[in-house]
Amino acid sequence: MVWIVAILILSVIFIFASVPRMYAQGNDQDSKKYTSVIQNVFDFIQKRYVEDVDPKILYEGAMSGMFKALGDPYTAFLPESEMSDLNDTTHGNFGGVGLYITKPTAARPDGRPPYVEVASPMEDTPGWRAGINPGDLIVEINDESTDALSMDEVLNRLRGTPGVEVKLLIRRGEKLEFPITLTRAIIEVPTVKHDMIGSIGYLKLLTFTPMSVDRTKEALDDLKGKNYTSFILDLRNNYGGLLTSAVGISDLFLEGGVVVSTKSRISSENQVFTARRSTVVPSNIPIIVLINRGSASASEIVAGALKDRGRAFLVGEKSYGKGSVQQVYPLEQSGFRITTARYYTPSDVNIDKIGIPPDREVLFPEFSDDEAEKLNGLITDNRIPAFVEANPNANSEAVNAFARELNSEYKIDLSLLRRLIRNEQNRTAIAPVYDLEYDVQLQEAVNILKNGNYGQLMQTTKTLRELQNEAVLEDDTALAS
């Protein structure tokens, strides 16, 4: 009986061990077959097409189609121009309008055309000063609809020679639609802004570049000299950036332990990134992290690490939900960007297409459909820009008086009008590091730190794994009922 059982076990092991080899062999044969077909079609077009064809055009078309077939908005072939732009961005400057965008590869589930969506504007750039917000749709670029354009074609139209105007048609919500003309500028990738809010150290991290960690350390040294007793890390509208920078930023707040892990198809390439034992921000300093729907990728790595490790309390709104890692590979002058892994927070959760929920949700007032129609009239009348241009140094009293005037004419929420006026003021001048008077999310963070209930709130927070398990349990209970 022992021999029979042993033989059966060995037989089962052999069967399971043989399946991957057979599958791999089949894949290899298919790859050779399709590669041969592609080569034959390539040769046939060059020899038989009615006109001469530049091999480079066929090559770039085949490469673009191959990556587009993956259905991943973050994976794409990069022709020479795109590789050049990418290199410019990596070095810190390029000609453009300052918008981080995404674009579906197919029609949206709700049936709407796959227009370009703004993930976040870069601060102090033409797009930001024009008032473009995360979630806005770019319906047209220079009178050309974006639904049929590829991401590369969109970037080619937005980026280019500084000083050249680019006309956009923006759709906000269901009914609000308006034109904006931007003038391209040299976009220098910003990194960090910081200041004190009373005894609270405030640091706004704008993006994750090779210099982000060093600039953050410099800011923390400056805040330390001003004796901060608590800390706010603002990751709102931060589209992300380098994985290594996200790990380095997290390391400033964590004492050892896991920051993030990445998992790919090849198990040997899986990585676990940990923090060092020492920390720059002492462990007894209360920390609040601000996030919103423009917080993506590397921002979510930092927010997820500090939340899962019980190091920070999150305030704002659910983050964007980009939980994948891309790498860029050169091909002579061109190249490609490809998703190679997904990342997981310390509690082993991937937040792709899900996002990170805040511990305390604080939303800015939203306008109704009726207000959207009235806002169209307000924008068309150009009342707010005209007021700011005529009153560049208007104080809070003057702003409130003008907001009441607009409220009586357009019947739009007074707090929304005040915020629109202040946003216009900030766009036409050097933006302040923070705006405590009108920023309700920042106000809530400050209140939590000043009211002394931070410790109690931290005892009620849950890891992303716990939240995910609760969501699954709720879904199962709903199905059972």
User: Are the C-beta atoms of 344 and 261 separated by less than 8 Å?
Assistant: yes
**E-assigned strands of 12-113?**
76-78, 93-96, 99-102
For residue 443, give Cα distances in angstroms to 193, 364, 447: 18, 12, 6
Catalytic residue at 204? Answer: no
CA 195 from centroid of its chain's CA atoms? 24
Q: Which of 103, 322, 324, 334 is catalytic?
A: 322
Query: Which residues make beta-bridge pairs with 412?
Result: none
DSSP 8-state class, residue 266: S
Residue type, 266: I
**Residue appearing with tokens 């739009």:** 412
Residue type, 166: V
Coil, helix or strand for 315?
strand
In sequence order, the 6+-apart residues with CB closer than 8 A to the CB of 214 are none
Q: For residues 206 and 64, give the distance between their C-alpha atoms in angstroms, rounded to a whole number.
A: 31
What the block records as the tokens of 311 is 């190091």
The Cβ of residue 245 has, within 10 Å, a number of other Cβ atoms equal to: 24
Q: Which of 297, 299, 319, 324 is catalytic?
A: 297
DSSP 8-state class, residue 366: P
132 HSE (CA, 13 A, CB side): 32
User: Are the C-beta atoms of 161 and 111 separated by less than 8 Å?
Assistant: no
Catalytic residue at 297? Answer: yes
**Which backbone phi and psi does 89 adopt, to 5 degrees?**
-65, -45
> Which of the residues are catalytic?
297, 322
